[in-house]
Chains A and B, each alone.
Chain A
Amino acid sequence: MSINRRTFLGAAGLSALAIAGKSSLVVLAQGGQREGATGIQSVTRWAMVIDPRKCQKDQGCTDCIAACDKAHNVPHFTDRAHEVKWIWKEPFGNAFPNQESLYTAEAFKSTPILVFCNHCDKPPCVRVCPTKATWKREDGVVMMDWHRCIGCKYCIVACPYGSRSFNFFDPRPRIKELNPDFPTRTIGVVEKCNFCEERLAKGEQPACVVGCPEKALVFGNLEDPKSEVRQLLRTRFAIRRKPELGTNPEIYYLV
């Protein structure tokens, strides 16, 4: 059968469009569902809800920070340029730069905001890691693999929240109390809060949550409609750090 070139090209183009059009319709149809890291709807999505007002009760209390540092052998450097921190306190204006007003500094003067890795839904640090030493797990935790980290610090550049720290020096001499149940890190790797994934594996709550005497930190599964975090988010208004960046952080601060 004779077919001329123009007709052939027209038919080929239409078939290509039909095939491509079908798969793009399928993807668009999934738009309403929440996607986990792999695109599959996940049954667990860990998140934390923090009530900064409860943190006010004990002025100068650092129990959560101490609990985290002890559980994970976080070293203590006095020079701020070299410090390594997994969880720390920031003034309100530093934690929420776009939500300041003239009066927030006064209101939050004695209420520090606890900040740590937000375990974002769309983490920029994961996107830029050249070795996949950091990745997003299906249950929402942004993990670190210190065996694979090459210390390029690209993730530190990418993180908009400053959650990550680099080990400029050997951390071991600077660890106050060595916890034998968790490894230390070496010089030259980046570390951050890991949502206590080793404790989650055993069904325990993160160290900071357990360490807080006022129960200001609440940890739970967002996919479970009956969890405490969902209850809190249903009944109270919560803000997140820098939401306009599109990283979708999963640490909520009740106001």
Chain B
Amino acid sequence: MRDRGIIIAGLIFFIGLITIPVWYNAAAGTLAKGPDLKLPVEEKNCVAPVEYMRTFHMDLLVNWRDQVVRQNIRTFKAFDGKTYTMGLSQTCMKCHTSKADFCDRCHDYAGVKPYCWDCHIDPKLVPLTSTSPLGERKG
């Protein structure tokens, strides 16, 4: 090739330019971090193992919903033998007390908007009265 030097130099420059998002962020330490959850302090175990809950808590909640509403089955036997009452506000939010610090962290990161809290009450909202500015839920 006649202009071998220029071509190779140009290629290297171009590759460097196009991979800026990778090496610049790595160098500056701003690579995307995962969601930062605040876990409950007292309880160490959820109703199912952590990995299962991470992947399947949506299915678990849908099953709970069908069992409670449509079959009137209200108790759930967890993997460690403990029994819980199936209910988002009653059971899940008793330990994961802050929707903003726990639930919303992953949901916002993943860009999903589950509609559970349109009906099921976030316990932090309870002191509301009809005169308070409602509409936006915290978090």
Contacts and interface: CB of A to CB of B under 8 A. Distances in A.
A246 interface: no
B129 A177 contact: yes
- The binding surface of chain A is classed by DSSP as loop
B126 A173 contact: no
Nearest to B128: A178
Interface string B115-139: 1001111010110111000110000
B89 A201 contact: no
Contacts of B118: 186
A221 to B, nearest CB: 16
Nearest to B121: A180
A184 interface: yes
Interface string B52-74: 00000000000001000110101
Nearest to A187: B118
A183 B119 contact: yes
B135 A183 contact: no
A105 B68 CA distance: 44
A209 B86 CA distance: 26
B69 A183 contact: no
Nearest to A177: B129
B120 A201 contact: no
B134 A172 contact: yes
B29 to A, nearest CB: 42
Contact of A175 (B74, B89, B90, B130): B130
Given A145-B69, A181-B89, A181-B90, A173 B119 contact: no
A173 B135 contact: yes
B89 A183 contact: yes
A136 to B, nearest CB: 12
A197 B65 CA distance: 15
A30 to B, nearest CB: 26
A186 B119 contact: yes
Contacts of A146: 119
B129 A176 contact: yes
A176 B130 contact: yes
A185 interface: yes
Nearest to B134: A173
A135 B115 CA distance: 23
A185 B74 contact: no
A88 B115 CA distance: 31
Nearest to B116: A183
Given A146-B119, A178-B128, A186-B119, 11 more contacts: A147-B69, A173-B134, A175-B130, A178-B125, A180-B121, A180-B123, A181-B89, A183-B89, A183-B119, A184-B119, A197-B72
Interface of B: 65, 69-70, 72, 74, 89-90, 115, 118-121, 123, 125-126, 128-130, 134-135
Interface of A: 73, 76, 135, 137, 143, 145-147, 172-181, 183-186, 197, 201
5 contacts: A172-B134, A176-B130, A177-B129, A183-B121, A186-B119
